[in-house]
Structure 1
Amino acid sequence: MKLICLDLEASGLGPGSYPIEVAWKSTEHECDNFFIDPGSVPGWDFWDDFAEEMHGICRAELHQSGISVTDACDRLNAKLQGQDVISDAWEFDSFWLRRLFEAADRAMMFRLIGLSEVLSPEELIQYRFVCKAQLRRHRAMADVNHILQAIHSVKYSAD
């Protein structure tokens, strides 16, 4: 079964937060990962030092290596158009994707879905157990790899 997982890192968790890093990967080994330059959007200036401590991304790195929100949306739509894309934190990731696409005045051409659409209630419990056992720095691609591994171990551990 082909799965595509997506993860975002953000400037914080509050209502003024915005996405700063995006990564996605499919079980067919297609993937992408990039920073977003918050300077490309007026008003994207909220910054939570605790969030920076969690992901380890500084604002200077975003300004230097990040792409514009327009480029980010176009890049995501070009590769993910028409696909169901899995998030293990649907509430947060959908909020940040909405902010991203609204800032770029673009329509999102893929559908973000939660784990409950691919895992049974029992598998969700197992998934949460597997994920809680691992402490790590949060970076988008590392998180995507972790999500895919955890889904695989839960779905196919009985095989």
Structure 2
Amino acid sequence: MTLPTLLDIEASGFGRGSYPIEVGLARADGSTCAFLIQPLDEWTHWDPKAELLHGISRGRLQREGYPVRQVARWLNDELGEIGIAYSDSWGYDNTWLSLLFHHAGMLPAFRLEALRILLSEQQQALWSRTKEAIIGEQGIHRHRAGEDARLLQLTYQRTLELTANT
């Protein structure tokens, strides 16, 4: 079974002024990678509640983050050939992805689609329970982009297997 490539973005918060701080991928082969993003000077919005969730400080982003253009180039290199990635929070992730590419002065070489378009009704019905079970089994650290992308991919795979047997 070929797994869909999943993309997840962690952000400085939600709503106006928020921006991407980490982008992660779970590739079709199950491997993951993620990059912290160095905030631009004009990206000043910071929600302490969001930091409590993802555990990434603004100082750490400034020290360890990659420049916006480098992250955009990496995403195009990773996703340009397959042309598509999926997200469970398309509305937010697509907005942050657009912001990233806009500030990089680049166009994405792929499109982001909502994960739900791949899911049958049976998969959707099993989704939450299956996802919670996988978190428990694997001790996944939530709200980090690479781990969250892999969690979505594993949940997709298991719900597909469960519905194939019915």
For normalisation by structure 1, the TM-score amounts to: 0.91
Instruction: Find out whether 1:34 has 2:39 as its counterpart.
Output: no
Of 79-88 and 145-154, more deviation after overlay is shown by 79-88
Q: Distance in 1 between matches of 2:126 and 2:85?
A: 21
Q: Distance in 1 between matches of 2:85 and 2:128?
A: 19
Q: Distance in 1 between matches of 2:34 and 2:142?
A: 16
- Tell me which residue corresponds to 1:81: 80
Which structure 1 segments of 5+ residues have no match?
Answer: none
Q: Distance in 1 between matches of 2:106 and 2:114?
A: 22
RMSD, aligned CA: 1.7
Q: Distance in 2 between matches of 1:52 and 1:30?
A: 26
Of 46-55 and 75-84, more deviation after overlay is shown by 75-84
Q: State percent identity of aligned pairs.
A: 34
Number of aligned residue pairs: 157
Of 84-93 and 124-133, more deviation after overlay is shown by 124-133
- Tell me which residue corresponds to 1:13: 14
| SS, match of residue 30 in structure 2 | coil
Q: Distance in 2 between matches of 1:2 and 1:145?
A: 11
- Tell me which residue corresponds to 1:117: 117
- Determine if contact 1:85/1:112 at 8 Å carries over to the other structure: yes
- Tell me which residue corresponds to 1:139: 144
Ranges of 4+ aligned residues in structure 1 off by more than 2 Å: 29-32, 128-137
Question: Do the aligned partners of residues 140 and 150 (structure 1) sit closer, same or farther apart at CA in structure 2, a change above 3 Å counting?
Answer: same
Q: Distance in 1 between matches of 2:16 and 2:125?
A: 29
Instruction: Find out whether 1:51 has 2:63 as its counterpart.
Output: no
Q: Distance in 2 between matches of 1:125 and 1:95?
A: 27
Which structure 2 segments of 5+ residues have no match?
Answer: none
**Shift of residue 132, structure 1, vs aligned partner:** 5.2
The residue type equivalent to 1:95 in the other structure is T
- Tell me which residue corresponds to 1:149: 154
Q: Distance in 2 between matches of 1:65 and 1:26?
A: 23
Q: Distance in 1 between matches of 2:24 and 2:147?
A: 9
- Tell me which residue corresponds to 1:4: 5
- Determine if contact 2:37/2:68 at 8 Å carries over to the other structure: yes
**Shift of residue 30, structure 1, vs aligned partner:** 4.4
The residue type equivalent to 1:107 in the other structure is L
- Determine if contact 2:5/2:27 at 8 Å carries over to the other structure: yes
**Shift of residue 44, structure 1, vs aligned partner:** 0.3
